[in-house]
């Protein structure tokens, strides 16, 4: 358990919230659901109720074995042990109570997948960063380009064990477009020069510009256009 805590993994214990998370995903009999982080399986009964197929992947072997024992009677459930982010399954809906340490990685991974929507639980501070208009972050530019993002509910830290130091937020991500890895890498690299002017940023990529603007003066869509220009150059 201490290892899981070190990774930023905290287990939801409220069945009411678990049900609300799954309800928000609007799962139908045509949907294939991927859950990364089975944990103690609190979402499984609700996810399996309506889905065509559910893949739930857990990288803690003890938790995986416990889930195999506790949920063996769900005919539409496949439990797997390993790194869910290396999964090759196709899926239409993604659900996860993401470890805090994996939130950014998970968003970038999900942006590259063909998915209808995702319902994720993340640290409140990370959620606010995704939708902040005050200061651009690479992840917020990418997430808002690829998804329509909606806050669903706040979840107080007392609803988890072990109890984290911060509250969480459940978010709905509805896909607008799939993003290629090269665009993600380029936007991240652009932001590594964020204190420079656009002219000096583009110089790092061998692209000419006379613009003295900085990233915070540009919209997310403008930054994406710049990244695409760099990729084409």
Q: Give me the helix-helix angle, 103-111 and 138-146, nearest 10°.
A: 40
pLDDT on residue 5: 43
Per-residue pLDDT of the chain (233 residues; tens, 9 = 90+): 344 444 457 899 999 999 999 999 999 999 999 999 999 999 999 999 999 999 999 999 999 999 999 999 999 999 999 999 999 999 999 999 988 889 999 999 999 999 999 999 999 999 999 988 777 899 999 999 999 999 999 999 999 999 999 999 999 999 999 999 999 999 999 999 999 999 999 999 999 999 999 999 999 999 999 999 999 99
Ordered domains of the chain (ranges, CATH): 2-138+146-178 (3.40.50.150), 182-232 (no CATH)
* Residues 223 and 136 sit within 8 Å (Cβ to Cβ): yes
Q: 133: exposed, middle or buried (C-beta count within 10 Å: 0-12, 13-18, 19+)? A: exposed
For residues 62 and 190, give the distance between their C-alpha atoms in angstroms, rounded to a whole number: 41
Annotated binding site for S-adenosyl-L-methionine: 10, 12, 37, 58, 83, 97
The predicted pLDDT at position 134 comes to: 73
Q: What is the structure's pLDDT at 132?
A: 82
Q: Which residues belong to the annotated binding site?
A: 10, 12, 37, 58, 83, 97
Q: What is the pLDDT of residue 8?
A: 54
Cβ–Cβ contacts within 10 Å for residue 157, how many? 15
Hey, which residues does 171 pair with through a beta bridge?
A: 120, 151
Phi-psi region of 37 (alpha: psi -120 to 50; beta: other; left: phi over 0): left
Confidence (pLDDT) at 84: 97
């Amino acid at each position: 358990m201490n290892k899981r805590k070190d990774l930023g993994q905290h287990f939801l214990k409220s069945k009411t919230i678990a049900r609300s998370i799954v309800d928000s995903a609007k799962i139908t009999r045509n949907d294939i659901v991927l859950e990364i982080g089975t944990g103690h399986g609190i979402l499984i009964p609700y996810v399996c109720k309506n889905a065509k197929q559910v893949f739930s992947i857990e990288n803690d072997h003890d938790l995986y074995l416990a889930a195999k024992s506790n949920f063996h009677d769900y005919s539409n459930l496949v439990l797997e042990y390993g790194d869910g982010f290396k999964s090759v399954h196709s899926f239409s809906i993604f659900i996860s109570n993401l470890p805090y340490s994996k939130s950014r990685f998970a968003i970038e991974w999900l942006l590259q997948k063909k998915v209808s929507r995702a319902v994720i639980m993340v640290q409140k501070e990370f959620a606010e960063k995704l939708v902040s208009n005050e200061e651009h972050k690479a992840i917020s530019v990418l997430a808002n380009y690829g998804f329509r993002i909606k806050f669903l509910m706040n979840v107080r830290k007392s609803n988890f064990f072990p109890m984290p130091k911060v509250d969480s937020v459940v978010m709905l991500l509805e896909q607008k477009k799939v993003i290629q890895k090269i665009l993600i890498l380029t936007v991240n690299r652009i932001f590594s020069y964020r204190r420079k002017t656009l002219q000096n940023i583009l110089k790092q990529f061998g692209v000419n510009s006379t613009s003295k603007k900085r990233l915070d003066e540009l919209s997310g869509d403008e930054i994406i256009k710049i990244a695409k220009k760099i990729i084409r150059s």
